Structure 1
Amino acid sequence: MAVSARRTARAGSTGRAAAAKTRGAPKGEEAGAPASSFSKDEDLQAYRDMLLIRRFEEKAGQLYGMGLIGGFCHLYIGQEAVVVGMQMASREGDEVITGYRDHGHMLACGMDPRGVMAELTGRRGGYSKGKGGSMHMFSKEKAFYGGHGIVGAQIAIGTGLGLANWYREDGKVALAYCGDGAANQGQVYESFNMAELWKLPVVYVIENNKYAMGTAVTRASAQTDFSKRGVSFNIPGEQVDGMDVRAVREAGQRAIDFARAGNGPYILEMQTYRYRGHSMSDPAKYRSKDEVAKMREERDPIEMVRKRLLETHGMDEDELKKIDAKVREIVNDASEFASHDPEPDPSELWTDILLEVRA
């Protein structure tokens, strides 16, 4: 059935969605407002998942410094609560697509740390057989449709994932991530328009880490409230404390439920912060060391969960040390595998390549 025919067949549901939009989008909390509490099990899950990303990225930074990782390498340290909270809100089958700061998203989706690290070091056991590197990994099995090196391109592709879900009526929602810098790209707004026009099940997650590629948001964006970027397309949005995994999960659940119900896309601006530079080659001289230290001391997403586990859930330091040790064991194993796995055979240069031959 052609898309136009499918749109006609679903005119009734689209009308209901439009009526729902008229009644108003679900009301979210202001960024920084208290989030709903987590059970002990939920906090433990969030702690383990965020700690795995943190330790993995720290190890990746070490391997980069040793020359085992080449090219670009963009670390996610400081932003872990965003993807972990969103994954806690999603359900199996929902797709994830993001930009080049993507290792955390892969791990949160359940991809094997060995395969991710092996791809970083260009080994045949990597998710792209060692040919993609840091920016280009995919896992159809885990519904992860890639990190993408072209700024903003993933938003258009993520909208396409939403279109496929809408067409198939499979109940899945696409989570399309981008940074505050990418939010200024033209294709992002073309995607917004199409998604709202067809009421596509997409949640756009703008990870506002304040500096894009090194320029402060206040110097690069005329509208610094990214939750309003969909206003001209009638797309609802909200700002979220992206350093609090509880706030992320709560807002993520609202947005995903809204999209899954046939109401169309939703925008979440995650106000977060990265501790490292834009990439490993960035000395980050555009911000002060005091600013970074203050965020680490007062707003670190992992430390906030750790504090709750100790003070609210009655765990002791030894229990948390065991979790950290187990996570380090997983990461060290991935590092060892990635350091000793063979490089791709030269014949791999000719696989997975589409050639166009013209007369």
Structure 2
Amino acid sequence: MPQPEVTPRSDATGALPDAMRAWRVTQLGEPAEALALDTVPMPAPAAGEVLVKVAAVAANFPDVLLCRGEYQVKPALPFSPGIEFVGTVAALGDGVDGSAVGERVVGSKIGVLSEYAVLPASDVWTAPSSLSDAEAAGLTVAYQTAWFGLHRRAALQVGEWLLVHAAAGGVGLAAVQLGVAAGARVIGVVGSEAKAAVAREAGAEIVLVRGVDDLVSGVKAATGGHGADVVFDPVGGAAFDASTKCIAFEGRIVVVGFAGGTIPSVPAGHVLVKNYSVVGLHWGMYPGLRPDLIDTARRELTRLADGGAIHPVVDHVVPFERAPEALTALASGTTVGRVVIEVGS
């Protein structure tokens, strides 16, 4: 049933302000130098859009790349980073069906590191009631990326060996938890012993420490020589190269990103001889091309969250006024799980 018309200049608590605060990239560089806290006019939702009062934003590595001008999407300066959030619907544009003022939602769109954000109604969904704001803020990008990588691209099966690189990071922990929920046997690769404990707690059966353990021999030993049936790789570079040496017959390497800074070349001859697949995952294409699969992923993630099978790990929370610190911490590679920026209540 269509929603009754709602004026876009009011919310559940009364009239909206005329202006809001937003972090904006005013010059390209590291987050601490690139970002400025500005006061900007309050946006209003157009037809098919919702206005959301942002409660929390999860920092993502693409936010760092946006600040540097190294992301595949390059908005014109000045612009707001931030790509996923939790908040409350404050107003509806014309023709919106299925959203209601006051509903707690999560969603994703570049530009949400602000007190309010406007985005298409199709880009938000009801936040699982089992998760706090800090936890829910990091549910959309990391967990949908992991879900599509494991289930849509790799067709992960019960009992298969899953190798997850950067297993203590935001998307890596999501892949570990979803792999365990799917009945896979998970091997995690992390950067330190401290991070190893986090990966084990998330359900990794075996954890290898980069620079300490030999990845190839470790995977072969853990799997009795079988190798990894599925590799989830958001790192690239040496991690990808090592994966090609311990991939199982008919294994699948899912290329998710290149956080290590090096984009590897695919060894086509080796792919042929060892009979494995290298598949890419660009989650951002699915909302536009296969929204039906996005709906499926959302339902499944909500079910798993409410059932306790997945639980976003929060490293720490910073207040809105210190948002650049969150991106700097993320870029350092020392955090585990998500760093969350608390915007408002």
Q: TM-score interval w.r.t. the shorter chain?
A: 0.3 to 0.5
Q: TM-score, normalised by structure 1?
A: 0.33
Q: With the length of structure 2 as denominator, give the TM-score of the two structures.
A: 0.34
Structure with higher RCO (Cα < 8 A, 6+ apart): 1
Would you tell me which structure has more helix in proportion to its own residues? 1
